[in-house]
DNA sequence: AATTTACGTCAGCGTTGTTGACTTTCCAAG
DNA sequence: CTTGGAAAGTCAACAACGCTGACGTAAATT
């Protein structure tokens, strides 16, 4: 298999465009490099929080919950389920430990008393900040090193990589309430 | 987005730069948006392969193994461990099923008979292509929609997000052998 | 009054990470 | 040549965190 140079080994190849325009950045090899870059970068992206979480006895699922509760204080369980894209059983396990440990407070809704509104406690905010701080530090370094135009491009590509539904949710997250 | 409001809710805030340059893209809020974009985009990034893998009864770990074996045919288990960043026990389980199912071939090393050199079989290449094809399709669409300059920026930021060691590995992956 | 919705929980399973203990193989020092 | 250690790989058991299914309860809706 290894023999030759080109990509001939691919039987179902979709290699070069037939119209053969000058879109070098769309070759299969460039796309593969992008895929690998995404893989390695995501590892870096989660490395710092992972270390912190381990010290506290939590996992990534806890991080995600804490992050989005901080982002939308008072959010309901159902809303969080939509954002995180997991089952309620899975989320519940995580939320239960966070509530037991006093990082998250669950208040029964006033308008609709079936709903539980979630808030970070002081301790919860402290953990969130520790995690976020570490992640922002890395992000800031990457942004700074790459420069503003690169950041704009980065954000643009990421947005187009999302599923349309997730993209809506991404845009529906705002400051404050 | 979020026009007027500040980020006063953070007690331990590291918000605005003291030197107060014009680096809008480095505000904590922009960084948080970037973090969330990464989160949602990665979901999209893995969504298509996940569906395919499920049909075949595999998981993401299988995808990663198949991907990098395809990328570096004849690679050893140890080399793969470095790239994937998991324990050999974890990788071994995945490799075993792939070998049993006839997607991967493991050849004892000639120079050092402790080593196993890994190759995709015809069936393995078929699966790799199916997965890669789906992922490349999404990547291509995102690249095309964002344009060449955005792609360059995307790649630049991702590179700076990697751990230095991972970045070296990223660059050490090449075509052919 | 009946149905639907929001939430919580129990039970059980699969993937994928972990550590610990073991075999086989290689190599170098005695 | 032998021996002891390092390296590559395998087996066993456990934990985190996804999943499905079933059930219960309270509250809103029809």
Considering only residues 89 to 118 of chain B, which have any Cβ-Cβ distance to chain A shorter than 8 Å? none
Mean pLDDT of A9-33: 70
Nearest to A31 among B140, B160, B167 (CB): B140
Strand intervals (E) in chain A:
75-76, 104-108, 116-120
Q: Please count the structural domains in chain A.
A: 1
Both tokens assigned to A148: 């503003």
Distance from C-alpha of B58 to C-alpha of B98, rounded to nearest angstrom? 9
Q: Is the model's pLDDT at A14 over the cut of 60?
A: no
Q: Please give the protein residue whose CA is closest to the C1' of the nucleotide D25.
A: A114
In whole angstroms, give the CA distance from residue B149 to residue B69.
Answer: 31
In this complex, the residue of A38, A43, A150 whose CB is nearest that of residue B156 is A150
Residue B12 covered by a domain: no
Please list the residues that pair with B76 across neighbouring strands. Answer: B117
**pLDDT at site A10:** 44
pLDDT digits (tens, 9 = 90+) for B39-92: 999 999 999 999 999 999 999 999 999 999 999 999 999 999 999 999 999 999
The reported pLDDT for the residue numbered B177 is 38
The helix (H) or strand (E) run that includes residue B120 is strand B116-120
Is A87 within a domain? yes
Query: Per-residue pLDDT tens for A47-69?
Result: 999 999 999 999 999 999 999 99
Decide if A91 is inside a domain.
yes
Residue A173's pLDDT is what? 87
Residue A155 lies in a domain: yes
For B64, the token pair is 């990663």
Amino acid A90 CA to nucleotide C11 C1' distance, rounded Å: 14
CA–CA dist B157, A144 (Å, integer): 9
CATH of the domain at A66: 1.10.10.10
Q: Do A1 and B119 touch (CB under 8 A)?
A: yes
Q: Is the pLDDT of residue B6 over 70?
A: no
Mutate to test the interface with B, among A3, A60, A82, A139 (most CBs of B within 10 A): A139
Is the pLDDT at B3 greater than 50? The verdict is: no
Question: In this structure, are residues A10 and B120 in contact, taking their beta carbons and an 8 Å threshold?
Answer: no
Specify if A126 maps to a domain: yes
SS3 B144: helix
- Element housing B105 (H / E): strand B104-108
Helix (H), strand (E) at residue A131: helix A122-146
3-state secondary structure of B16: coil
Residue A129 lies in a domain: yes
CB contact under 8 A, B11 and A45: no
The pLDDT value recorded for residue A2 is 35
Chain C positions with a protein C-beta closer than 7 Å: 5-12, 15-21, 24-27
Contact A36 B170 (CB under 8 A): yes
Mark residue B37 as left, alpha or beta (left: phi above 0; alpha: psi -120 to 50; beta: remaining).
alpha
Taking the alpha carbons at both ends of chain B, their separation in whole angstroms is: 48
Are A91 and A84 a contacting pair, CB within 8 Å? yes
In a domain, A51, yes or no: yes
- Fill in the DSSP letter of residue B80: H
pLDDT at residue number B175: 60
Residue B116 lies in a domain: yes
Give the domain range for residue A63: 47-172
Q: Is B25 on the interface with A (CB under 8 A)?
A: yes
CA-to-CA distance for A29 and B64, rounded, in angstroms? 17
CA atoms lying within 13 Å on the CB side of residue B147: 7
Using C1' positions and the CA of A96, the closest nucleotide is: C8
């Amino acid at each position: 298999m290894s023999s030759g140079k080109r990509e001939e080994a691919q039987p179902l190849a979709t290699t070069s465009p037939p119209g053969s325009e000058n879109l070098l950045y769309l070759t299969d090899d460039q796309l593969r490099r992008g895929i690998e870059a995404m893989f390695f970068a995501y590892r870096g992206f989660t490395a710092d929080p992972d270390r912190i979480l381990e010290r506290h006895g939590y996992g990534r699922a806890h991080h995600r919950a804490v992050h989005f509760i901080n982002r939308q204080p008072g959010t309901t369980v159902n809303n969080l389920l939509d954002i995180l894209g997991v089952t309620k059983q899975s989320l519940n396990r995580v939320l239960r430990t966070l509530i037991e440990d006093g990082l998250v407070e669950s208040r029964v809704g006033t308008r609709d008393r079936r709903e539980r509104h979630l808030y970070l406690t002081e301790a919860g905010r402290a953990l969130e900040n520790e995690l976020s701080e570490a992640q922002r530090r890395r992000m800031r370094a990457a942004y700074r090193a790459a420069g503003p135009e690169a950041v704009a491009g980065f954000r643009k590509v990421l947005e187009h990589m999302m599923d349309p539904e997730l993209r809506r949710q991404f845009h529906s997250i705002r400051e404050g309430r």
